[in-house]
């Protein structure tokens, strides 16, 4: 069996995307394994998810560090101690320093609940609804210095319904987050992903043939 890529996951909260990654890694043919989960929040629900899966956990409480550089340095130590090859942000709610991003350049990915570059930051589902957009979705991308910016690996598109509230749209998007995050990790582990400037090339896959319309004609 080929060596599996070693993944570290950074969390701050409930860890639903962490759970999706844990489930994917349980498959014998999945080419990656989670070797450490790092949380900046000691009582994060995601830590219990990791412990149930027998994944080592490290708490790096940001309140214990005098500045962001020291905090990031401790996280890097925890990841390197576990020999991590890819870092996945999964609901990690702290800004990362340029030093941290540079250190993990092209080895650090994030999932965001919008179709980037639209609707960066927080409150994205509400903003998408209020804008009158017909579609929303989620994006897996490489992390760069600016928040929610970086080469896009994959996206999933969901329709916005006329009756949607934030909860309904968030649920529809989250289902797709759980689908595409493990998929992106698989592609990276299989060495199918190549970064070319602002773009990502995924070998062996092409664009979908279907066109989505919303509202859809009868």
Bond prior to 106 in cis (omega within 30° of 0): no
CA distances in angstroms from 90 to 37, 66, 109, 185, 208, listed in the order given: 10, 24, 9, 12, 26
| Residue located via tokens 């020291």 | 70
The one catalytic residue among 112, 141, 145, 161: 112
* Host H or E run for residue 176: helix 166-189
Query: How buried is residue 160: exposed, middle or buried, by Cβ count under 10 Å (0-12/13-18/19+)?
Result: buried
Q: In what order do the strands lie in the sheet with 5-11?
A: 57-59, 32-39, 5-11, 86-89, 108-112, 135-142, 152-159
Both tokens of 201, joined, read 């090339």
Specify whether 28 is catalytic: no
Q: Which residues are the active-site residues?
A: 112
């Amino acid at each position: 069996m080929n060596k599996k890529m070693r993944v570290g996951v950074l969390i701050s909260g409930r860890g639903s995307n962490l759970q999706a990654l844990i489930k994917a890694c349980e498959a014998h043919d999945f080419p990656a394994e989670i070797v450490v989960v790092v949380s900046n929040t000691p009582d994060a629900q995601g830590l219990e998810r990791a412990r149930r899966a027998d994944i080592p956990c490290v708490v790096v409480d940001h309140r214990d560090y005098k500045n962001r550089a020291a905090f990031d340095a401790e996280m890097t130590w925890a990841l390197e101690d576990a020999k991590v090859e890819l870092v996945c942000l999964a609901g990690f709610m702290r800004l990362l320093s340029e030093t941290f991003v540079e250190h993990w350049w092209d080895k650090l990915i994030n999932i965001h609940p919008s179709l980037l570059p639209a609707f960066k930051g927080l409150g994205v589902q509400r903003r998408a609804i209020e804008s009158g957009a017909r579609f929303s979705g989620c994006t897996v991308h490489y992390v760069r210095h600016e928040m929610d910016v970086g080469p896009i690996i994959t996206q999933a598109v969901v329709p916005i319904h006329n009756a949607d509230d934030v909860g309904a749209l968030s649920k529809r998007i989250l289902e797709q987050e759980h689908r595409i995050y493990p998929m992106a990790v698989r592609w990276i582990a299989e060495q199918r992903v190549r970064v070319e400037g602002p773009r990502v090339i995924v070998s062996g896959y092409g664009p979908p043939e279907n066109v989505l319309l919303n509202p859809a004609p009868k």
